[in-house]
Amino acid sequence: MDQRESMTANVWQKPFALWVIAGGLVYMSIALLYLGLQFALAGGLTGTGGGLLAFLFLFIAVFLIAAGFSLREKRWAYVLSAAASIVLLLLFGSFIIDSYRNPADSGFWLSATGIPVLSLVILFSILAFWQGKDGLAQNRYLASPQSVGGLLTVAVIGFVIGSIVVGAIGAGVILRTISTGAADIDIVSGAATAAIAYSPQSFHLTLASGGKVTWINKDTTSHTVTSNQTGQFDSGTFGVGATWSHTFTTAGTYYYYCTIHPMMWGVVVVS
Ligand SMILES: [Cu+2]
């Protein structure tokens, strides 16, 4: 066997559990990179958005380091894999669960794949660390895909594929329903990058009509309706298909924007 052959053989002889850990972390790195690029393109680079982006890249770096050194059977890398995965799940927990609840949300695929994949990474990292002293090769469920560990991995992959398929069908139904929803102002599909995010961009009403204005989110991601003048009105984050209303009691011109995508703006003119 020449040297190159022996190196290839050596890599493929790594315990199966390490491939699951490294594969899961590399998948999450690619997913976070995609998410970060989408976010940057949507104009989220300004303000707190820049911080979030830096945070995503920190996670990508840590995940890739943990993946690489896990494959080299470093025990500290198993700890790093488990810890970084747990921290990511905890930090983005509310965001992840919101997306998971609504298949029409553009973050659904990330939640539907991220939660099972990271859970598997955490499980195998802890098991690898625990068994690491005696060597993983001694434990069939960590060493070989033809084991309980392999079966669990296949089950998780199946669950992920199932979730994505069912989610896609559900999303179609939900988006068809949303498109018929009526309100005064629509947050349009693709609002983050649309020339007119809130339609109509300029909405006129009279106090005599009651002063109530309702927004509906027809996009596939969450947005806010936030007054440029601090404290006048703020919807907070509202999800796909949701509506939010505000009643104006004073005549005036009210500019507003989205705190998540600051390029989005509209105006309500009350007379
Ligand atoms: Cu927005």
- In 10 A of CB 162, how many CB atoms? 11
Asked if 78 and 199 sit in the same domain, the reply is no
Instruction: Give pLDDT tens digits for 54-75.
Output: 888 999 999 999 999 999 989 9
Distance (angstroms) between ligand 1 centre and the Cα of 241 equals 13
Distance 30 CA to ligand 1 centre (A): 24
Residue 175 shares a structural domain with residue 192: no
How do residues 181-196 score in pLDDT, each as one tens digit? 889 999 998 898 889 9
pLDDT at res. 179:
81
88 Cα: distance to centroid of ligand 1 (angstroms): 23
Residue at a domain's end among 179, 204, 239: 179
Domain end call among 179, 206, 228: 179
Domains identified in the chain, total number: 2
Q: 35 and 56 in contact (C-beta within 8 Å)?
A: yes
Whether residue 204 sits in one domain with residue 135: no
User: Does one domain contain both 111 and 193?
Assistant: no
- Same domain for 80 and 202: no
- 227 Cα to the center of ligand 1, angstroms: 13
Residue type, 270: V
Yes or no: say if 151 and 140 are a contact pair by the CB < 8 Å rule. Answer: no
Domain with residue 261: its CATH number is 2.60.40.420
Give Cα 139 distance to the centre of its chain.
Answer: 34
Distance from residue 228's CA to the centre of ligand 1 (Å): 14
CA atoms of 99 and 97, how far apart (whole Å): 5
Which domain, by its residues, includes 25?
A: 3-179
pLDDT at position 9 is 56
> What is the whole-number distance in angstroms between the Cα of residue 58 and the centre of ligand 1?
24
- The reply to whether 50 and 160 lie within a common domain is yes
Per-residue model confidence (pLDDT) at position 1 = 44
At 206 the pLDDT is 92
Ligand 1 centroid distance, CA of 237 (Å):
9
Query: Is residue 238 located within the same domain as residue 127?
Result: no
**Cα 258 to ligand 1 centre (Å):** 5
Give the Cα separation of 66 and 29 in Å (integer). Answer: 11
What spacing in Å lies between the alpha carbon of 38 and ligand 1's midpoint?
Answer: 13
- Domain shared by 90 and 50, yes or no: yes
Could you tell me if 168 and 229 lie in one domain?
no
Cα 247 to middle of ligand 1, angstroms: 21
* Pairwise CA distance, residues 141 & 119, whole Å: 17
Task: State the pLDDT at residue 205.
Answer: 93
Determine the distance separating the centroid of ligand 1 and the alpha carbon of 264, expressed in angstroms. Answer: 6
Q: Max alpha carbon distance in the chain (Å)?
A: 89
173 and 189 both lie in a single domain: no
At residue 11, the pLDDT reads 59
CA of 23 to the centre of ligand 1 (A): 33
pLDDT in tens, the chain (271 residues): 455 555 555 656 788 899 999 999 999 999 999 988 877 776 655 555 677 788 889 999 999 999 999 999 899 999 999 999 999 999 888 778 888 888 888 889 989 999 999 999 999 999 999 887 777 777 787 888 888 888 999 999 999 999 999 999 998 888 888 888 889 999 998 898 889 999 999 999 999 888 999 999 999 888 999 999 888 999 998 888 889 999 999 999 999 999 888 889 999 999 9
* Residues near 64 by beta carbon (within 8 Å), at least 6 away in sequence: 25, 26, 29
| 160 and 226 belong to one structural domain | no
Separation of 219 CA from ligand 1 center, angstroms?
9
* Cα of 210 from ligand 1 centre, angstroms: 27
Same domain, 175 and 189: no
Instruction: Return the pLDDT at 102.
Output: 85
Write down which residue in 127, 145, 179 finishes a domain. 179
